[in-house]
Amino acid sequence: MPEIVVTEFMDGSALDTLRAQHEVAYDPALVDRPDDLAALIGSARALIVRNRTQVRPALLERAPRLEVVGRLGVGLDNIDVAACEARGIAVRPATGANDLSVAEYVVCGVLMLLRGAYHASAEMADGAWPRTRLMGREASGRALGLVGFGAIARETARRASALGMRILAHDPFLPDDHPVFAQLQATPLPLADLLARADAVSLHVPLTDATRGLIGAAALAGMRKDAVLINAARGGVVDEAALAEALKAGRLGGAMLDVFEREPLPGGGPLKGAPNLILTPHIAGVTEESNVRVSAAVAEAVARVLKERAAA
């Protein structure tokens, strides 16, 4: 029976590292077969997941030998951290390993949404030439508002600044005189002020009781009519129905969502048919390069915990 169970995709070289010392059950489709996962996990000392596997008490109860949960990413809202702590189960995310990938995704989204010329392929293939209508905006000189100013937001700020953007930042856990604001030439602001002033807003907060629905109807109404919004943080931070309504009513310039309240995103929901909207399947932090970094970091962390626990 396996010591390590991996339920979602992971880089092969990192798996080989684990297999050199442990019996590993790797099935990236296991996340969609919870009964099979529950049957398999009884012997596991380690569980490695991405964002879709729900590590809740019901699953933990089926894993009496579990010592560590490795998270191929950084968000922990799919893991009951308190329940793990109560059992003495270590939780090891891949902190920092995909910062660059997400930052590049955000900057790309800002450029695409401000320019606004990338939705015309089908129209042009039919013979249209909407050149005047698709005149967009430059990023240089415009304000990027970062809601949350942790590691990924700071990487985003560096890249946006290189394009000539001004950086606005809101983070309730950082005092306004924190040196990082001066280092990155970012202006700290209350959330409402940031939303009112930014040409583009990118979210960089975890999903908590305080952030759920943070960008709802009221927040959207406080944004500039031509502003664009990017959420590559966590689904649930944006009220999807309120966003769709704002886009359809022309009260927002555009949006790009990589994360959703429910994943995979159900078809036919409120976002269907919303204009100036780009949707991607929770892929901002996943590139060929980041997958290698994330997988290696988690494999190393999980192996270290298992070795320490075995020696204890």
Which secondary-structure segment (H or E) carries 153? helix 151-162
Give 217-276 as a DSSP string.
Answer: HHHHHTS-TT-EEEE-S-TTSB-HHHHHHHHHTT-SSEEEES--SSSSPPTTSTTTT-TT
Strand partners, 88: none
d(CA 98, CA 51): 14
Secondary structure of residue 135 in the 3-state scheme: coil
Can you name the residues that pair with 69 across neighbouring β-strands?
Answer: 47, 91
* Residues designated as active site: 234, 263, 282
Tokens of 113: 């949404």
Q: What's the burial of 185, exposed, middle or buried (CB within 10 Å: 0-12/13-18/19+)?
A: exposed
Q: Nearest 5 degrees, angle CA 265-CA 269-CA 273?
A: 110
By CB neighbour count within 10 A (0-12 exposed, 13-18 middle, 19+ buried), where does 32 fall? Answer: middle
Instruction: Give whole-number Cα distances, 261 to 37, 236, 264, in Å.
Output: 23, 5, 9
Distance between CA atoms of 249 and 147, rounded to whole angstroms? Answer: 24
